Amino acid sequence: MIDQQSSNKRRKADHPNGSESTNDDSLITSTDPSHPANYISSLCRQFYTHGWVTGTGGGLSIRHENHVYLAPSGVQKELMKPEDMFVMDFESGEYLRRPKALKPSACTPLFLAAFTKRGATCCIHTHSQWAVLVTLICEAGFQNQPDGPSKGCFAIREIEQIKGISRGGVGSQVILEGGRKAGNLGYFDTMKIPIIENTAHEEDLKDTLQKAIEEWPETCAVLVRRHGLYVWGKDVAQAKTQCESLDYLFQLAVEMHKMGLKWV
């Protein structure tokens, strides 16, 4: 567990002023396409084509052992290169690699919340239009019904793609820490994703996102109203497939709503 001193160091690491830049290229140099620095760059190019990281929005982080790899802030994600990556020591919260003239991702505290609260090793943040739209539909109360969506929750059931969503996003035991079940949701399960309110600054979402993770032990994602989605997984493959599955379900839900069909 990360102690208060480590948390303080991490908060300091989130602000580049007064910190020296370091460019330890050994941390990001590899011919292996699955190396985190290469993987983040290639995935961001893919996500750009989906409309998830347009206008420098969105982000992605991968934790490999004690190293956390982070895409920088304010960079066109489709043009990102491995040398643009920030690398943080997971335990101390200190940056081991800080590219000159680039800023750490404002999403960093939220990525770290998924890593510490869920044991995830990959967290994706998208600005998907479909994610934003379902939060607006829920806010307006158009789909409210017993055991269904509400202003603070997106819910859908009896759609095959729900099977692509895990309970909690990580783990392989029958019952995991916090009381959540292992395995994926079934066709007849109701998938629920909590919705938190947006803030003026991304890092200010940290407390409400952490609270949502704690209060919804089976969720693998959190929606941010009028903003986007955070989704995580035990590895990159799981985080990516769950992000794809959720975006499919969000788009389907919007189209169902247009047709007057209920989600649950």
Output the pLDDT for position 154. 97
Give per-10-residue mean pLDDT for the chain (264 aa): 44 43 83 94 96 95 97 93 96 94 94 95 98 97 80 96 82 48 86 97 96 92 98 96 98 98 95
DSSP H helix total and E strand total for the chain:
6, 9
Strand 228-233 vs strand 221-224: parallel, antiparallel, or unpaired? antiparallel
- Domains of the chain plus CATH, in order, are 1-105 (3.40.225.10), 128-264 (3.40.225.10)
Output the pLDDT for position 131. 99
φ/ψ of 133, rounded to 5, equals: -65, -40
Which residue ranges make up the annotated binding site?
107, 125, 127, 227
- DSSP string covering 199-222, please? -SSGGGGHHHHHHHHHH-TT-SEE
Q: Report the catalytic residues.
A: 160
Global pTM?
0.86
Kindly report the CA angle at 19 between 94 and 60, in degrees rounded to 5? 50
Mind listing the pLDDT tens digit for each residue in 215-257?
998 899 999 999 999 999 999 999 999 999 999 999 999 999 9
Output the pLDDT for position 24. 82
Which residue ranges make up the annotated binding site for substrate?
107
